[in-house]
């Protein structure tokens, strides 16, 4: 076995039992290497009886394993890691010895092959026999509900993280009841953003429930929460309190308005913050009232920001060995997304207005009614405008001096749009799509949701994801938006039932005995779904 530790310390032992190679990602930074028992590698024993998982974040490891030597080498690896890191641990005080041992031995099924080759390289490694997803070995404690937080943690789960979702016994996430429609007893809303998660039902008002959350935070890499600022601190679950026991913890707080400031204690749903942030002011018909966007875009944007912030914090931790507190909120996320609308006001003092489907600064760039529907056309430059005129068989428009530049077209907006609108009404949407094909002009129909999921490109991009839910049966949700060349996102596990994984997590992650788990269940501090 070869294990480079911080560049120099190594130890060797090699014997190949089978032609089976497993790989994992192990970080070269000291603290991540200490989580070797939580690496993301799969070990196939020589007798083929079982697979054991070892799951630290980081670079690659190749393991050939004999089950006879498994226990011995597990102890050897732990001792070698401990001895190698002891000087650094004492110097930097990154974690206590007890925390280290708990990290290394937290899973009953964790093991390291007795013989083989283990090589630590870095973060970006593609293993033989199947790509490792970037967040395999990262454990996320999810204390969020509704949309922004669950959306962020779902993306982390898609990328390979183990997501432990904490829910109230009996009630669960608020969105479990947001319907109709329901699929069986599960709301379609909840199903949409909770795949690839384990559900643990914990009563956080129970003293023992709080203790369980503290212990989970001690062995997790990331915690994401969306309580009112200060609420978790009152319960002993704030960043300062939890980071003392786990200095590497990345703690992401999602709120309506931020952790500090005059509105910090105000509750915030998407629609409320969408109004406060100006999003509703600029959304709706040109001469109509403000309109709520059809999807909770403020929540979704915040979820994306939170996901990106967690990824950045993981990279920073790889460099520094320490975690960080992230303040992510709906107001900041939405205001930052005002982009040119905000810049128009901040730099030119120009107040925004509603434009329907049109664009304030580009003409033509909007929906046009056709003979049987709508077509959205965007001419973002002069060359595209010329092509629009050619497709519409109105080449003379491109020669008109008052339409020569976008600035002039904006100034003469209404006259130009009247001419274009009359022409689009003469043919069907399908006919116009054929005419524009190959023109280089961006165009598209306004699809119904049924038409969206019938689109060949939507199917090709893997945006229809099917899962077998334990209670609801077959469920289908939108798949991950991003694809990668060297790995595929998780192929997904269905959204969990309330408390589906309570006993599993208490036993496997916290190493609780059956007697302790039974006592917790009887006390009401936790609950296990009866179906499991």
Q: Which residues are catalytic?
A: 299
CA–CA separation, 510 and 219 (whole Å): 8
DSSP code string of 395-427 = HHHHH-GGGSSHHHHHHTHHHHHHHHHHHHTTS
Q: Kind and range of the H or E element at 215?
A: helix 207-219
- Listed in order, strand segments (DSSP E) in 340-472 are 365-369, 374-378, 443-445, 464-469
CA–CA separation, 246 and 109 (whole Å): 23
Backbone angles phi, psi at 390, to 5 degrees: -65, -45
- Using the structure block, give the residue that is written with the tokens 């922004």: 148
Phi-psi region of 499 (alpha: psi -120 to 50; beta: other; left: phi over 0): left
CA gyration radius, the chain: 28
CA–CA separation, 277 and 298 (whole Å): 9
Q: How many CB atoms lie within 10 A of CB 204?
A: 19
Would strands 365-369 and 324-329 be described as parallel, antiparallel, or unpaired? unpaired
Bridge partners, residue 224, by sequence: 142, 252
DSSP state of 223: E
Cβ–Cβ under 8 Å, residues 225 and 298: no
DSSP state of 363: S
- Using the structure block, give the residue that is written with the tokens 């904006």: 410
Bridge partners, residue 39, by sequence: none
């Amino acid at each position: 076995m070869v294990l480079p530790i911080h560049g120099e310390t190594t130890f060797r032992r090699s014997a190949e039992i089978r032609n089976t190679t497993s790989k994992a990602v192990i970080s070269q930074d000291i603290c991540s290497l200490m989580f070797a028992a939580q690496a993301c590698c799969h070990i196939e024993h020589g007798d083929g009886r079982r697979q054991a998982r070892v799951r630290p974040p980081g670079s690659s490891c190749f393991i050939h394993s004999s089950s006879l030597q498994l226990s011995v080498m597990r102890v050897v690896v732990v001792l070698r890691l401990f001895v190698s890191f002891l000087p650094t641990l004492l110097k930097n005080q990154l974690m206590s010895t007890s925390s280290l041992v708990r990290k290394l031995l937290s899973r009953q099924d964790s093991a390291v092959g007795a013989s083989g080759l283990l090589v630590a390289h870095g973060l970006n490694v593609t293993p033989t026999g199947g790509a490792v997803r970037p967040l395999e070995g990262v454990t996320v404690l999810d204390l969020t509900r509704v949309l922004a937080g669950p959306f962020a943690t779902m993306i982390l789960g898609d990328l390979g993280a183990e997501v432990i979702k904490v829910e109230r016994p009996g009630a669960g996430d608020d969105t479990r009841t947001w319907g109709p429609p329901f699929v069986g007893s599960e709301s379609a809303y909840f199903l949409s953003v909770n795949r690839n998660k384990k559900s643990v039902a914990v009563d956080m008002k129970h003293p023992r429930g709080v203790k369980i959350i503290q212990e989970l935070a001690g062995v997790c890499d990331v915690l994401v929460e969306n309580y009112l600022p200060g609420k978790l601190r009152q319960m002993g679950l704030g960043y300062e309190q939890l980071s003392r026991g786990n200095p590497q913890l990345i703690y992401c707080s999602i709120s309506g308005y931020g952790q500090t400031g005059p509105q910090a204690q105000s509750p915030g749903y998407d629609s409320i913050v969408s109004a406060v942030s100006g999003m509703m002011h600029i959304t709706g018909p040109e001469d109509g009232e403000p309109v709520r966007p059809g999807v909770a875009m403020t929540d979704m944007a915040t979820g994306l920001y939170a996901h990106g912030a967690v990824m950045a914090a993981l990279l920073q931790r790889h460099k520094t060995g320490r975690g960080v507190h992230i303040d992510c909120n709906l107001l900041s996320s939405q205001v930052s997304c005002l982009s040119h609308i905000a810049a128009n006001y901040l730099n030119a003092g120009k107040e925004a207005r509603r434009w329907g489907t049109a664009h304030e600064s580009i003409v033509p760039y909007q929906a046009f009614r056709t003979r049987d529907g709508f077509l959205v056309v965007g001419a973002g430059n002069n060359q595209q405008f010329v092509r629009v005129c050619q497709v519409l068989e109105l080449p003379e428009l491109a020669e008109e001096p008052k339409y020569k530049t976008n600035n002039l077209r904006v100034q003469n907006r209404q006259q130009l749009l009247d001419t274009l609108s009359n022409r689009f009404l003469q043919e069907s949407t399908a006919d116009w799509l054929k005419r524009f094909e190959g023109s280089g002009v961006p165009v598209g129909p306004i699809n119904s949701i049924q038409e969206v999921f019938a689109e060949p490109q939507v199917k090709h991009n893997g945006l229809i994801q099917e899962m077998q839910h334990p209670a609801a049966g077959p469920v289908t949700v939108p798949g991950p938006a991003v694809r990668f060349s060297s790995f595929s996102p998780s192929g997904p596990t269905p959204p969990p039932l309330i408390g589906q994984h309570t006993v599993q997590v208490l036993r496997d992650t916290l190493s609780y005995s059956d007697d302790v788990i039974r006592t917790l269940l009887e006390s009401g501090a936790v609950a296990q779904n009866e179906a499991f």
